[in-house]
Amino acid sequence: MTSLDNFRLEVRQWLETNCPESQRQPIIKEEQIWGGRRRIFPSPDARLWFERMRDKGWTAPDWPTEYGGGGLSAAEAKVLEQEMQALGCRPPLYEIGLWMFGPALLEYGSEQQKLEHIPKIVRGEIRWSQGYSEPSAGSDLASLITRAEDMGDHFLVNGSKMWTTQADKADWIFCLVRTDPKVPKQEGISFLLIDMASEGVSTAPIELISGESEFCQTFFEDVRVPKENLVGELNAGWSIAKRLLKHERKLMSIMEMMVEKEDETVVELAKRYVGVDGTGQLRDNALRTQLTRHLMNSQAIEWTSYRLFEQHGQVIKDAGLPLIMKHISTTELQRKDELILAIMGNRGLSLKDAEYSHKEQRLVKNWAYNKAQTIAGGTSEIQLNIIAKRALDLPGH
């Protein structure tokens, strides 16, 4: 038995002993545990599960132990992920700092910045938001105009950011700001950390087609930001921004593993709403074909994800895999949502009508919300251009 096999057994035993039964149920959105100054636990079991994972460093299992992480290798972290999935363990912590900002700060931040922010992310003491998109920039992120003027001992920030996820609940925001308007646009951008409690910072929620408001527009009016909150070199933030987007795209490719789960699979839903014939097959042949195609695609995506993991640390890699994962996984998620609504028929028509069950309304809301998945982290149109150029080596136009 290899050391990794021994580790797997140890992890399995630890999870079985320490993960409460209530935390082995499909995740419910209202019961997700988000970090931050205003952190709320939906139950004593949720707090216990979080604290046990936090104390092991397994909220960030492959981060260095000196910053509070678990210090696991990539292979060990994958084993932990697999065993948690096998047991049905809920994620102990949801946090943009874990998924996107933390990995970038570990690579580009100063030692002082790492010591200040990374342990707080691991312990769920701070909640981050992302300040990238702007009203006037669209998909051309480098055209941003939020500016940070050098005032000697601090920067003075003015401008606004769009689609800042849950910025009204965040403690800090990492922002791309323009620090030199006279150079080519990508060369005059810096990466700045801003405390949301700073004077001059405000947010306005944006209502989505799902009826929810998880996104905000965030405004900066003469916000003073200390110089020590600059990550990396002045005017060199574009490299950090691109690196962080890789982490965001990775997150988008595994999002379905982390979002609210139904207590029925899509196959079980189909059997309940559509019914089966005497042989046990779905009565609707066309729907059966669509469902089979979705299941095959989902399995292929899972295998591709594992193949991508297996490339970690290898000399010879398929550089195209990371580029395609975000696109194919988010697209398939949306296909699944469309399939579920087709299965539900007339029961999939309302977000609010009391005639429909809470579960049915939630399925429709998920369909509406997940329309954003092919936009967040880089639109599918932009992603396909990148895939064509970098993965397929097709000529540009």
Q: What is the pTM of this model?
A: 0.78
CATH of region 262-391: 1.20.140.10
262-391 has the same fold as 128-235: no
Fold of 128-235: Butyryl-CoA Dehydrogenase, subunit A; domain 2 (2.40.110)
Read off the pLDDT of residues 314-357 as tens digits, 9 standing for 90 and up: 655 676 777 788 888 888 999 999 999 999 888 887 777 777 78
CATH of region 3-94: 1.10.540
| Helix 285-310 × helix 266-273 angle, to 10° | 170
Q: Which residues of 315-335 are buried (b: 16+ CB within 10 A; e: fewer)?
A: eeeeeeebbbbbbbbbbbbbe
What percent of the chain clears pLDDT 70, i.e. is strictly above it?
92
pLDDT at 202 over 70: yes
- 58 burial via Cβ count (<10 Å: 0-12, 13-18, 19+): buried
CA pair distance 281, 270, nearest whole angstrom:
10
Read off the pLDDT of residues 211-231 as tens digits, 9 standing for 90 and up: 777 889 999 999 999 999 999
pLDDT at 196 over 90: yes
Question: 120 vs 42, 43, 144, 257, 266, CA distance in Å?
Answer: 21, 22, 29, 24, 38
pLDDT at 1 over 80: no
Read off the pLDDT of residues 158-175 as tens digits, 9 standing for 90 and up: 999 998 988 999 999 999
Q: What is the pLDDT of residue 257?
A: 56
Read off the pLDDT of residues 50-77 as tens digits, 9 standing for 90 and up: 999 999 999 999 999 999 999 999 889 9
Q: What is the pLDDT of residue 80?
A: 95
Mean pLDDT value across residues 303-315: 72
What percent of the chain clears pLDDT 90, i.e. is strictly above it?
53
Q: Where are the domains of the chain?
A: 3-94, 128-235, 262-391
pLDDT category of residue 313 using cuts at 50, 70 and 90: low
CA pair distance 377, 390, nearest whole angstrom:
17
